[in-house]
Structure 1
Amino acid sequence: MLCSMTGFGKGEKESEKGKISVEIKSLNGKTTDIRLKLPPGYNEKEMWIRNYIISHLQRGKFDVNIINNQTNGTNISINDDLFKEYHQKLNKLADELNEKNRDFFPSIVRIPNIFKETEYQLSENEWKATKEALDISINKLKEFRKQEGVSIEADIKENIHNILSEIPEIEKIDKERKEQIRKRLDLAIDEIKEKNKIDKNRFEQEILFYLEKLDINEEKQRLSQHCKYFIEVLDDDSIKTKGKKLSFITQEIGREINTMGAKAQFSKLQKKVVIMKDNLEKIKEQLANIL
């Protein structure tokens, strides 16, 4: 079974302080790229979250958003000792100066370090709920990937079988092509014999070399083998991530099709080559989104 790299999963769990949500959106990518949006209090958990996602979801581009509405950014508290110290000194100074206005509060609160800011402290219960919500979102994303993979696999199989089905047609066309080549050679040989004296042995060697350059039997055989191996890998459920391996096989398939096209020199065969290339390109596009 193939798995797509695109998908979406959302998990929610209640903590002692309220609901925690985790959303994961994934797109195809050659490597693993995680963009993580965390609420306050989760900075120390970032590497754990990243590694956990990688271990469960492998390749792809991921947008991960963790929402904990109870985290309000920072906790603000007053530095009581410092405030009292300033207040006492200002009062003492006011006594010395016989100052009646003792409203020091507006001035004191503007003094640096009077207010202390501390980051939200994530509780064990909240972290436990977060991990559970993360598991739910990962499992939903995996299921989404599998469902999309089923559809992609059906399309890929259709295209690879389309390529395979062209090989018997190419066999028929190749017989016609060879006959035309032979006729052209016979005419050329007759013309050369009439005009020049030639070295018969060398001429025969040149003809054989020319025919070998145009022969596509090996390409047909290898193309068939590569396509069958592609299907074998596609159907092997013991292979969990098949995208890269199947991509390597498509490179070999493409090489045989291109060589066949270069040797063809026959319009009917070249049309078949174009059809096979079209199917192969569709497969490559689909494999770009497969794990």
Structure 2
Amino acid sequence: MAEELPPWDRLVCLLTKALELFYNGVTHMVMSMTGFGRSVKQTPTCTIQVEIKTVNHRFREYHIKMPQQLSHAEITLRNQLSKHFSRGRVELNVRLTGNISSRRELHIDWDLLDSYYHFIKEAKGRYQFSGEAMLSDILGLDEAVQVGETGDVDDDLITLLLSAADEAAGQVLKMRKTEGSSLSNELESYINLLEDLVRKTKDLAPLVQETYTERLRSKLKDMMQENIDEIRLMSEAAIFADKADISEELTRLTSHILQFREALLSSGQIGRKMDFIIQEMNREINTIGSKANDSNIAIMAVEMKVLIEKMREQVQNIE
């Protein structure tokens, strides 16, 4: 397993990547899961309208409503949509109006015709009827020979449907990119605030032991009314310092912040990764709040948790 880079080296790599994206004209990589698009296509005889709405979802989920005549194209339509959307709930609604020409086909119940034919032959022998059973007699049996609609439509209309779906999906993606940019900027502001709180907490951490030592010294002086046992004092202070040490949690929290920034500059499905990082951040902040045993650090921890919840809410909308 490759050794993880120190935080400073990772920060340098992150800044380098950001500069590369900037010079290549890439402004943001975050994609929202919320969007809407509509496309209308017409032929001389009919009009087809496709509307696509996407919202956040843990996985990719399709909800497609379309006329019965187009239902056989649903699998093809799903495969085409999969090229555009990798995560989220995709709701697609198709409206078809006008004069839609459908194919007609002949439906024959051969078992019924066989029974009918054998009945005619048997009746002729039993009752000595003359004449032969004519083809027109058999074809005139409505229950056995029927002409109906197949429900299918011409392939040109299916092509028009797929074209409209592509156009609507393009509008959805445009909206998702725009909202993704806003989400990215908002998350960037939150992560900056969180980083500032972590920096302040790091500055406060060494003072916790000093404050505890002085408080303990004062209590011992009041109790003993004589010279304080400095060895015992230092021993108690050392035990407290070990229990209240939050340096590891702060280091891991700093690392998670860097990982979150890296995710903001990544492409693809980054929403789940961000959600996992936020969970780890929350875990470290909870530990910091419980271990520090300091009111000022406890306040910092509460402020950090508020930011984490705001970030979590926004990350739920990221693909």
What range is the shorter-chain TM-score in? 0.7 to 0.9
Change (3 A) 1:256 1:140: same
What is the alpha-carbon distance in structure 2 between the residues aligned to residue 282 and residue 20 of structure 1? 41
| Partner of residue 173, structure 1 | 204
| Partner of residue 7, structure 1 | 35
Equivalent of residue 157 in structure 1, options 183, 188, 194: 188
Q: TM-score, normalised to structure 1's length?
A: 0.77
Q: Tell me which amino acid in the other structure corresponds to 1:61.
A: R
Change (3 A) 1:186 1:117: farther
What is the alpha-carbon distance in structure 2 between the residues aligned to residue 168 and residue 34 of structure 1? 45
Check if 1:23 corresponds to 2:51. Answer: yes
| Partner of residue 127, structure 2 | none
By how many angstroms is 1:6 displaced?
Answer: 0.8
Q: Tell me which amino acid in the other structure corresponds to 2:63.
A: R
What is the alpha-carbon distance in structure 1 between the residues aligned to residue 288 and residue 98 of structure 2? 65
Equivalent of residue 227 in structure 1, options 257, 273, 277: 257
Q: How many residues align?
A: 260
Query: What are the superposed Cα offsets for residues 231-264 of structure 1, whole Å, 9 maximum, x if unpaired?
Result: 122123xx22211111111122111111100112
Equivalent of residue 257 in structure 1, options 276, 285, 307: 285
Check if 1:218 corresponds to 2:248. Answer: yes
Q: Tell me which amino acid in the other structure corresponds to 1:34.
A: Y
RMSD: 3.3
Tell me the secondary structure at the aligned position of residue 176 of structure 1: helix
What is the alpha-carbon distance in structure 1 between the residues aligned to residue 218 and residue 160 of structure 2? 84
Query: What are the superposed Cα offsets for residues 198-232 of structure 1, whole Å, 9 maximum, x if unpaired?
Result: 9x79x976653432110111212221121122112
Tell me the secondary structure at the aligned position of residue 218 of structure 1: helix
| Partner of residue 157, structure 2 | 126
By how many angstroms is 1:186 displaced?
Answer: 3.0
Q: TM-score, normalised to structure 2's length?
A: 0.71
Query: What are the superposed Cα offsets for residues 123-167 of structure 1, whole Å, 9 maximum, x if unpaired?
Result: 111111111111101111100100111111111111111000112
Q: What aligned pairs does 1:102-141 form with structure 2 within 5 A after superposition?
A: 116-141=147-172
Change (3 A) 1:47 1:205: farther
| Partner of residue 247, structure 1 | 275
Q: Tell me which amino acid in the other structure corresponds to 2:172.
A: L
Relative to structure 2, which stretch is displaced further, 113-122 or 225-234? 113-122
| Partner of residue 110, structure 2 | none
Tell me the secondary structure at the aligned position of residue 57 of structure 1: coil
Percent identity over paired residues: 28
Structure 2 unaligned blocks of 5 or more: 1-28, 108-112, 117-141
Change (3 A) 1:274 1:290: same
